[in-house]
Copies of this chain bind each other. A is one copy, B any other.
Amino acid sequence: MSLLVVGSVAIDSVETPFGKREEALGGSATYFSISASFFTRVKLVAVVGADFPKKYIQQLKKKAIALDGLEINTGKTFRWKGKYLDDLNTAHTIYTKLNAFESFSPKIPDEYKKSPYLFLANIDPDLQIAVLKKVHSPKLVACDSMNFWITNKPQALKKLLKKIDIFIINDSEAMLLSGENNMLKASKYIFSLGPKKIIIKRGDSGAILFAKTGAFFQTPAYLMEKIKDPTGAGDTFAGGFMGYLSKTNRLDEPGFRKAVIYGTIMASFCVQDFGPNRLIRLRKDEIAQRFNAYKNLVAHY
């Protein structure tokens, strides 16, 4: 089944304790699309400026990502610059230049409107709502958000959360939204806002999938010695998760759990190199190999 993603395609500059990269390919929809492309046919809706490098377009095309919805306007591409300190957990934003994104009004090509799987990557919740209205009763809708929207557009975000199936956020966002620092309590509050399932990403502490019934599934992160750049790990997780669901079309508990594990595995590749570099050169057999290695690392005989 095909998977539609609407979000940002950006040019990122990043510094971590292990080096830095200037003007690299970035954006929430970029990481999501590349990650999901290993599982399913991805259709990308986003906007870039006239300055967006052709080679980045080629990199996305090589992953068979459909780009009919990638609008190229006359301005400049959205840019983000950030820095990670030693703990690699928190990105410190140096600047955000919305550029082409400032006036972005997502146009969904007609043939995309029937996509059964939809991911609303982290953008203005009003835009996420607008996209949702244009897509014809998708089978499964997931969305992400961030601290900025939780603080500045709480009403729009709450309106959105009433309409989606799965909310995928990280622990600090869950805390900010709920006012709770216990993840079980946080999930209960967020469920009261509407979503049917919640995934809380906890960085190197793994992920938790909550169901509205109170049931949940916990799984650790894939432990690695070398992490170069955590940028995009959350979107890459979401790409593996939604990509797997879209491929298998299996929306039962075993399917969701396996999707969380694929999200975990894809995120573990993402952080091994700067930007999406590791994902771009990733092979399917490497995913299968790490999936099996991970299963052994967490197995309870």
**Cβ A223 vs Cβ B218 within 8 A:** yes
**Cβ B223 vs Cβ A184 within 8 A:** yes
Identify which of A183, A216, A223, A295 gathers the most chain B CB atoms within 10 Å of its CB: A223
**Cβ A298 vs Cβ B300 within 8 A:** yes
Contacts of A204 in B (CB 8 A): 205
A86 within 8 Å of B (CB atoms): yes
| Number of this chain's copies in the complex | 2
Which chain A residues (42-73) contact chain B, with CB distance < 8 Å? Answer: none
A14 within 8 Å of B (CB atoms): no
Identify which of A182, A216, A254 gathers the most chain B CB atoms within 10 Å of its CB: A182
Which B residue sits closest to A295, measured CB to CB? B300
A194 within 8 Å of B (CB atoms): no
A94 within 8 Å of B (CB atoms): no
Task: Choose from B181, B206, B225 the contact partner of A220 (Cβ within 8 Å).
Answer: B206
Contacts of A184 in B (CB 8 A): 223-225
Evaluate whether A298 and B217 lie within 8 angstroms (CB atoms) in the complex, with A86-B181, A87-B181, A206-B205 already known: yes
Chain A: interface size category: 20 to 34
What is the CA–CA distance of A217 and B225 in the complex, to the nearest angstrom? 15
Contacts of A224 in B (CB 8 A): 184
Which chain A residues (148-183) contact chain B, with CB distance < 8 Å? Answer: 181-183
A143 within 8 Å of B (CB atoms): no
A95 within 8 Å of B (CB atoms): no
**Cβ A205 vs Cβ B205 within 8 A:** yes
Which chain A residues (199-239) contact chain B, with CB distance < 8 Å? Answer: 202, 204-206, 208, 216-220, 223-227
Task: Choose from B185, B226, B258, B300 the contact partner of A257 (Cβ within 8 Å).
Answer: B300
What is the CA–CA distance of A261 and B202 in the complex, to the nearest angstrom? 21
Evaluate whether A216 and B205 lie within 8 angstroms (CB atoms) in the complex, with A253-B301, A301-B258 already known: no
Which B residue sits closest to A188, measured CB to CB? B225
Chain B nearest CB, measured from A26 CB (Å): 24
Contacts of A218 in B (CB 8 A): 220, 223, 297-298
Evaluate whether A298 and B182 lie within 8 angstroms (CB atoms) in the complex, with A205-B206, A206-B205 already known: no
Residues of A near any B CB (own CB < 8 A): 86-87, 181-185, 202, 204-206, 208, 216-220, 223-227, 253-254, 257-258, 261, 295, 297-301
By Cβ-Cβ distance, the 3 closest A-B pairs, closest first, are A205-B205, A254-B301, A218-B220
